[in-house]
A and B are shown apart, each in its own frame.
Chain A
Amino acid sequence: MAILEVNNIEKHFGATKVLENVSFSLEEGKALAIIGSSGSGKTTLLRCLNFLERPNGGSIAVRGETLFDASVPAREHEKELRKKRLHFGMVFQAFHLFPQYTALENVTLAERLLAQEQPDFKQRRREILQEIEKHGQQLLERMGLAERMHHYPHQLSGGQQQRVAIARALALQPDILCFDEPTSALDPELTGEVLKVIRSLAKQRTTMIIVTHEMAFARDVADSVIFMDGGVIVEQGDARDVIEHPREERTRQFLARYAQG
């Protein structure tokens, strides 16, 4: 069974239709790449999945559990919404690290706050916080940032900041990790280190949705790919097939622009 099922998502801002009829599913342990020119609705789609935007139509289910259904006019409480959000992790184009916290604090903050809600937090406080700290350190080590744990975001390069953001998103062990153009805000020489990290996550079978303009990366790392244009999915399928042998004319034109550089 698919871990994520997205059905007929629709989103408009006022009169502008931004997403229409967006449906796809994702298997556990697979990576999905979303490609498409700027303004095609890729960010909006990820924001809908993370409950930063509320779709006007459609439904979203994770592991068979319906998290969102536009036909059910539920106005959920913050508590339920927070729980639903935890199914997804989000890595933003512009990192959005918390500037007042060190890399390690950025990674552990949410986990520490969640731990406070555990019934036995008061008795096991020290122990729990130590575990969280250790978990955060391990994540940063995996990101190749063992030496940078106690640095503040402004003391880190863009590539390092984005890797901290990835560790932060992984800390709560989301079912599905979303990336919104994780390397677009980086200098070209820094994209490699971030892509390498995402590549290794794919090897470890992390379920991911990656919005990217790095076509070679999408082809090699993603299992499937979605090409979006004007808020609709034009073509989806096996990543290598779609990128090397696109069937739709619009996909072909889009990829040709990238091939030329």
Chain B
Amino acid sequence: MFWTVTQSLLNGLATTFEIFIFTLLFSLPLGLALAFGLMSKFRPLRYLIQVLVWVIRGTPLMLQLIIIFYGPGLWLSHNIWSGNETGRITATVVAFAINYACYFSVIFRGGIEGIPVGQREAGQVLGMTRSQIFFRITLLQMVKRVVPPMSNEIITLVKDTSLARIIAAYELTFAGYSFMKSAGLTWPLFYTGVFYLIFVGILTLLFNYIERKLGYFR
């Protein structure tokens, strides 16, 4: 039995991991783009992004997931997500990427705005372009500033992946829960918890490593 459970949980973990990685992959750049939108001097754009962030942060992720997964099928004549596992994971990643990008954007904006203007001005008087200033001066200082708040969000993301169960994506929590439903077993639930703990533990080590790596400057 233990072996069967382990195998199921590993399957669930694969899905969880897939959602996690793809969400990060899309939400990090999207979050940065939104952060620029939040800081834009062009008011209509700034207000638009502010409203988006307000809506996305102000409503439950689960609700957003349900709308994104079922909405297209009801509004359009056909479902844009294929009915299989891939379709469910894709819909989850889309919902998660938008949601997390909004949280990240606020963190990124704070990280950029916290850098003294003198840094940018020093680049300007040295004849650097806006993009050179961003990539050569601002970016790394921003990354250093946002590592602690970002590690919180990313750890939350690990556990939020369990929301994908609501659209029947076979992720880790679903896998553990299925044994309770089918065989009345509760120990797989604790075993599932251990999986999450290890996942988050590895991430914590990774964040500590990054923080240490970036400790070479102040």
Residues of A in contact with B (beta carbons under 8 Å apart): 50-52, 78, 82-83, 85-86, 88-90, 92, 94, 96-100, 109-110, 113-114, 152-154, 168-169, 172
A78 to B130, CA, bound (A): 8
Q: Which of B29-37, B113-121, B161-169 contacts the other chain? A: B113-121
Q: How far in angstroms is the closest Cβ of chain A from B137?
A: 6
Q: How far in angstroms is the closest Cβ of chain A from B169?
A: 41
Chain A residue nearest to B143 (CB atoms) is A100
Q: How far in angstroms is the closest Cβ of chain B from A50?
A: 5
**Does B74 belong to the interface (CB within 8 Å)?**
no
The 8 A CB mask of B76-110 against A (1 = contact, 0 = none) is: 00000000000000000000000000000000000
Starting from the known contacts A99-B141, A100-B140, A100-B144, 7 additional A-B residue pairs (CB-CB under 8 Å) come to A50-B125, A52-B121, A78-B129, A82-B129, A94-B116, A99-B218, A114-B127
**Does B217 belong to the interface (CB within 8 Å)?**
yes
**Does B132 belong to the interface (CB within 8 Å)?**
yes
Given contacts A52-B121, A92-B118, contact A100 B128 (CB under 8 A): no
Do the beta carbons of B116 and A96 come within 8 Å of each other?
yes
Given contacts A98-B137, A99-B141, contact A113 B128 (CB under 8 A): yes
Do the beta carbons of B127 and A86 come within 8 Å of each other?
yes
Q: How far in angstroms is the closest Cβ of chain B from A107?
A: 10
A72 to B178, CA, bound (A): 74
Q: How far in angstroms is the closest Cβ of chain A from B133?
A: 10
Residues of A within 8 A of B218 (CB): 99, 152-154
Identify the interface centre among A82, A89, A154: most chain B CB within 10 Å of its CB: A82
Residues of A within 8 A of B132 (CB): 113
The residue from B118, B128, B140 contacting A96, defined by CB atoms under 8 A apart: B118
Range, interface on chain B: 20 to 34
Do the beta carbons of B125 and A88 come within 8 Å of each other?
yes
Q: How far in angstroms is the closest Cβ of chain B from A69?
A: 21
Pairs A–B under 8 Å by Cβ, sample size 8: A85-B125, A90-B125, A96-B116, A113-B136, A114-B127, A152-B216, A169-B126, A172-B126
Residues of B within 8 A of A97 (CB): 122
Do the beta carbons of A98 and B127 come within 8 Å of each other?
no
Interface of B is mostly: helix
Residues of B within 8 A of A152 (CB): 216-218
Residues of B within 8 A of A109 (CB): 126, 136
**Does B124 belong to the interface (CB within 8 Å)?**
yes
Q: How far in angstroms is the closest Cβ of chain B from A24?
A: 20
The 8 A CB mask of B203-218 against A (1 = contact, 0 = none) is: 0000000000000111
The number of inter-chain residue pairs (CB within 8 angstroms) is 66
Identify the interface centre among B124, B125, B130, B216: most chain A CB within 10 Å of its CB: B125
A189 to B74, CA, bound (A): 75
Chain A residue nearest to B118 (CB atoms) is A96
Residues of B within 8 A of A169 (CB): 125-126
Chain B residue nearest to A90 (CB atoms) is B125
Q: How far in angstroms is the closest Cβ of chain A from B119?
A: 6
Q: How far in angstroms is the closest Cβ of chain B from A104?
A: 14
The residue from B127, B130, B136, B137 contacting A172, defined by CB atoms under 8 A apart: B127
Do the beta carbons of B118 and A94 come within 8 Å of each other?
yes
Residues of A within 8 A of B121 (CB): 52, 92, 96
Q: How far in angstroms is the closest Cβ of chain B from A217?
A: 23
A169 to B124, CA, bound (A): 12
Chain A residue nearest to B216 (CB atoms) is A152
Do the beta carbons of B119 and A96 come within 8 Å of each other?
yes
A152 to B126, CA, bound (A): 19
Interface positions of B from 128 to 168, Cβ below 8 Å from A: 128-130, 132, 136-137, 140-141, 144
Do the beta carbons of A168 and B126 come within 8 Å of each other?
yes
The residue from B118, B125, B128 contacting A89, defined by CB atoms under 8 A apart: B125
The 8 A CB mask of B185-218 against A (1 = contact, 0 = none) is: 0000000000000000000000000000000111
Given contacts A96-B116, A96-B118, contact A110 B128 (CB under 8 A): yes
Given contacts A100-B141, A110-B128, A172-B127, contact A92 B217 (CB under 8 A): no
Do the beta carbons of B127 and A96 come within 8 Å of each other?
no
Residues of A within 8 A of B116 (CB): 94, 96
A172 to B122, CA, bound (A): 13
Residues of A within 8 A of B124 (CB): 50-52, 85
